[in-house]
Structures are given as C-alpha cells and as structure tokens.
Chains A and B, each alone.
Chain A
C-alpha cells in the first residue's frame, strides 16, 4: 500500500463498536478492569490511550519503524529521547540546529552531566574526529534549521554503526512523505508534530519513532515515566492532519520552489537557501535520500535594516514563529527561533541578522510572490542601503 493511502486510512475501521470512519477521542483517564489481574490493554491514559495509540501506530508505519510515541510537544519528544542517556554520556549534534533544541541541551541537560559537541555533519572526517569513548549518539537535523544544510543520513548512520552509536534524526522539515531516515539506517526519528504533520498551526505535539524491540521498550518506559504525553484531543487533531499530509506537502513544495525562484531574482535578496534549487550544495544528496524538498525556504537580504520593513509590509504572509502550517509564515531566526543561541555562535554558523525563514503555505503561489515582491521592493526603497 502506498504511503498516501496509509495516511488517509489512519484509524479507519478501528472503531469496531460503531464503525465510525473517524476514530473517537477517548477522554477517559482510567479504564475499568474486567477483574483483578485482568486488563483491556488500557489501564491509565498516561501509559496508553486508544486515540493516541492510533496516532502512534500511524506514525510508526509511515516512518517504517517499530514503535511510535506521541509527546506534548516536539521539545518533549526530544527530551524524552535524551532520557536514554546518563551522566557522562556525550552526543554529537548538527552545528546548525533549532534554537529550542540547543537551549534544552545547553541550559538543561548539561546540568545533568550530558555533554554535546556541535559538528558540521556534512563533513564526515569532522564527525569521526569528534567521536569520543563516551559518545553515545549522533543527533541529526536535515535539512538543518534554518540554513537548509543537507546531511547524508546513510553516511552518518554508517559511521554511527561502526562506533556503536545511535543515529537520531529530527525529520520535522521533511516528514515521512519526503524522507524516511529509518530506511536509511537511523535508529530513532523525531518530529515536532506541530509543523507539517499537524499542518494547521493549531496543535502542539511531538512524535518519536524507533526501530528495534529493545530500543522501543526503553522509550516506552521513558515515555510513561517522564509523562510528557500528548492529550487525546491533540492526538486526534494530529490524526486529522496526517490524512492530508501528502496533498499539503505537494502544494507546499510547488509553492516553495516558485517562491525560491522569485527570491533569487530579487535585487533585495543576497542569498537563497532551498535544497530544491539545483545550485544548492546539498541538492544531489537530497535527491539521493529524499523524494522531495518540502516547503521551507530561508534567504539573506542585503542589510539588516531591510528586515523590519519586510516584516511590516507583508500582508498575506504572517510574521510568526513556527512552520509547516497551511498558512505562510515568515520568521526572523535571530530574535525568534534561534534567540537562545549565543550571538557569536549564530554568526559563526551563519544565522545572522540578515536571515529570514519562510514556511511557504498552500495559498496560491502568485499571491505569495506578489506579497513578497512588494515587501522586498519596499525594503529597497525604505531600508535603502544596498551594499
């Protein structure tokens, strides 16, 4: 069965009582036991909830994994996975990275004796050099947020295997519709389900998918013990989002490609980052490991003075923090998503104050291009100084 079909069929036929096409939202926290020592398979909702179970099964299937776990947010999913490690353990992490992940690692988890080294994962020899005896895992974002750098997942997973490390991939930008890291050798896939999987800017959620019985068992324990689980209503909203994932991704991608082309041609723009552009450094790797390019486009304008003018003039595109929804959003990483990364590190990585990130929605592409064009034009007139 094709992924499109599986996604649409999520939960269908599973409510045996009524035949409801859409699986019901189970708000129950507790489940009546038929008797002492007997269980229906559901005891307490933190441990397992029927609605959440449908979602967890769907994402596990879509990612070609063995077990799925739904969490309260993308950060809750990452935090739950990091519970696999103990004091003294070390993890290699993508140098360009979502600011919230960086904050969790540096401001919370280092206090528990975990150590992190940030490496450009496109450079295999740098990765090998950074591995220590305490290293337990490689944490990959590809494409990276916000610079869209592409990491060769197969190569990293192979290096990880050689050293007995886990490969963990944040697949938020691509979704299983475009990229399935577990098929490329990764052990764990993570999602901020808030983004493309939910797809409507209306629910916060995180997902984990694991491969292998032992690893899945460990994650199940942590998921239940730490308790950062997803509520039933939010699980249901995510299931609803999954049903249209394929349609939305096609449109996001087509629009993103059109927008990226337009940005490249505009005088106010210095650089465009979109892995679907043939001159993108990761274009070939992306073709190799993914079946699409998704809808995220970043670009650098020529001077920081242009940024407020652009954000103020955008009409259709909202200036907001997040991505992956049907509505187009524009984010300013330096003060929003990546504000918690120290300025000197941001500058070194390339997340400078001239960088803007677009999550291209499913509006008509002409309207998006028109909106961007007028805002960029205004920035040339007002913000002025083109270097």
Chain B
C-alpha cells in the first residue's frame, strides 16, 4: 500500500460498533470489568484508551514499527523514552538537537546520573569516537533544527549495531511520509506530533514507535508508570491531522523548495539552509535516505537588527514558536526554540543572531514570496554573501 493510502486505510480507522468513519472520542477514565477472572481489554485510561490506541496503532504502521505510543507533548515523549536508560548509562546525542531536548538532557537527566556527550552526528567517526563502555544509546535529529544538518542514518545504525547501542531518532521534521528511520536500522522513532503530523497548530502531542516488541513492552511500562499520556480529545485531533499529512507536506515542501531557491539568490540574505539545495552539504545523503526535503528552511540575514526588520515587516507568516502548521510560521531560534541553549553552544551550531527559520504552510507560494520580498527589499544588500559549500565543506 502506498503512503497516501496507508495514511487513510493503514489501520482500521472506523468504529467497529457503529461503522462511524471516524474513531469516537472515548472521554472515559475507567472501564467496567465484567468478570474478575477475565480482565477486559481496557481497565483504566492511563493504561489504555481506545481513541489513543487508534492513534498509537496508526503511527506504528506508518513508521513501520510494531508498537506506537502517544504522549502529552513531544518533550513528554522524549523524556519518557530517555527513561529507557538508567543511572550510570551514557548516551551520545547529536549536537544541534532542539533546545528543549538540550535543556532536558543537561538540566534534568544529568541530575539522574545519565551522562550525555554531544557530537557532530553528521560525522560517523565522531559518533564512534564518543563511545565509552557505559554508552547505551545514540540520539539523533535529522535534518537538525534549525540548520538542517543531515545525519546518515543507515551508517550510524550499522555502527551502533556493532556496539549494541540503541538508536533513537527524532523524525519530527520529515515525518514517516518522507523518512522512516526504523527501516534504516533505528530502534525508536520520536515525534513532536504538534508539528506536521497534527499540522494545524491546535494540539500539543508527542509520539514514539519501537521497532521490536520487547522494547515496546519496556516503553509501555514507562508510559503507564510515568503517566505522561495524551488525552482522548487530543489523540483524536492528531488522527484528524494525520489524514491530510501527505497532501499538506506535498504543498508545503513545494513552497519551501521554491522559497529556498529564491532566497539563495536574494542579495539581502547571507546564507540559506535547505537540504533541497544542491549546495547543501547533506543534500546527497538526504536524497538517499528520504523521499523529500520537507517544508522547513532557515536563512541568515546577518544581524539581530536585520532580523528584527524582517519580523516587523512580514504580513502573512505567524511570528511564533513551533512549525509544521497549515499557516506559514516564521521563528527566531535565538530567542525561541534555542533560547534555552547557552550562547557559546548556540554559536558553535551556527544559530546566529541573524538566523530566521521558516516553516512553509499552505498559502499560495507567490503570496509568500511577495511578502518576504517586500520585507527583504528594505534591507541593504550583503557585501559578502556566503556560499554554503565553502564554509561547510568537510575536512
């Protein structure tokens, strides 16, 4: 079954009792037990809710895994998955992870005795070099947020297998439509479903999928034990969003690609980050492991003042935290998604004061370009336009 069909018919998406075309919202916290000796399928909604379960099954099928889990937020999914590790364990993490993940790892998990080493995961040899006898897992984001660095998933997973390490991939930016990390060898996939999967800026949710049943059992124990589950109404909203995932991403990606190429030529922009550009360092790996480049791009206008001028003058995009919505969202990573990262860490990752992240929505592409053009045209042109290839070339 092709993805576009699978997203609608991959799981039994209708109500078995009434035939209703949409799974009902079971706003029930508990379930009557008919027989003490034979417990029913559902007993308490934290342990299992039919609406949430429909979503969990759907994401497991789409990611090609065996078991899915829905959490209260992307961070709840991430913090729950990290509970697979124990005190004394060590995890290797891609250095430009989302600021919220960075904050959780350095401010909460570190106090629980879990060691973390941040590496440039685009270089497999750096990941390998960071392995210690205590290392139990590798945590990746690809493309990374917000500079869209690409990690070769199959290469890292191959290496991880040799060292018996668990590979966890945050697949928020691409979704299973474009990239399925479990098929490339990863063990756990995570989503902030608040983004493309929900897709409407109207629900905060997290998802996780495991490749095998034993790991699924472990994560189930943690999900039920810690209780950071997704509510029934929110589960239903995410499922509703999922139905149009492919259609939305097709449009958003086409716009992002067009805008990225246009920005790359604009004199007021010093640098564009988008894996669909041939000049992007990770372009070829991305073409190999994913079927699309996604709807997110970043660009640098050089300084805080210039960035502010853009934010003040754009009319269409929502200036906000978040991404992956039907509306185009313009974010300022330095003050938003990566505010919780110390300045020196931020700058090391290219998250400069002039960096702007754009998540292309479903508006008309020309309207978006025109709006960006009127904002950018007010800026003086750049004297030293940076060619991505020059500064980013591999040693």
Contact = CB atoms under 8 A, between A and B. Distances in A.
B169 to A, nearest CB: 18
A85 B228 CA distance: 18
A30 interface: yes
A231 B204 contact: yes
A27 B237 contact: yes
A225 to B, nearest CB: 5
A151 B319 CA distance: 52
Given A29-B194, A44-B321, A319 B33 contact: yes
Contacts of A33: 319-320
A37 interface: yes
A206 interface: yes
Contacts of A198: 29
Contact of B203 (A27, A111, A113, A230): A27
Contacts of B237: 27
Nearest to A193: B29
A329 B30 contact: yes
Contact of A225 (B37, B45, B75, B204): B75
B29 A322 contact: yes
Given A35-B312, A203-B29, A325-B29, A46 B204 contact: yes
A332 B228 CA distance: 25
B231 A234 contact: yes
A202 to B, nearest CB: 4
Interface in B64-99: 71-76, 78-79, 83, 86-87
B280 to A, nearest CB: 27
Contact of B86 (A28, A111, A221, A308): A111
Given A108-B225, A202-B27, A231-B231, 20 more contacts: A27-B203, A28-B202, A30-B321, A32-B319, A46-B73, A71-B227, A72-B72, A73-B228, A76-B76, A76-B227, A100-B227, A107-B225, A113-B112, A203-B29, A225-B103, A227-B72, A311-B36, A312-B35, A320-B31, A321-B30
Interface of A: 27-33, 35-37, 43-46, 71-76, 78-79, 83, 85-87, 100, 103-104, 107-108, 111-114, 194, 198, 201-204, 206, 221-222, 224-231, 233-234, 237, 307-308, 311-312, 318-322, 325, 329, 332, 335-336
21 contacts: A27-B202, A27-B203, A30-B318, A30-B322, A37-B308, A44-B321, A46-B204, A72-B230, A76-B228, A79-B226, A104-B225, A108-B225, A225-B79, A227-B100, A227-B206, A231-B72, A233-B234, A234-B231, A234-B234, A307-B36, A308-B37
Interface of B: 27-37, 39, 43-46, 49, 71-76, 78-79, 83, 86-87, 100, 103-104, 107-108, 111-114, 194, 198, 201-204, 206, 221-222, 225-231, 233-234, 237, 307-308, 311-312, 318-322, 325, 329, 332, 335-336
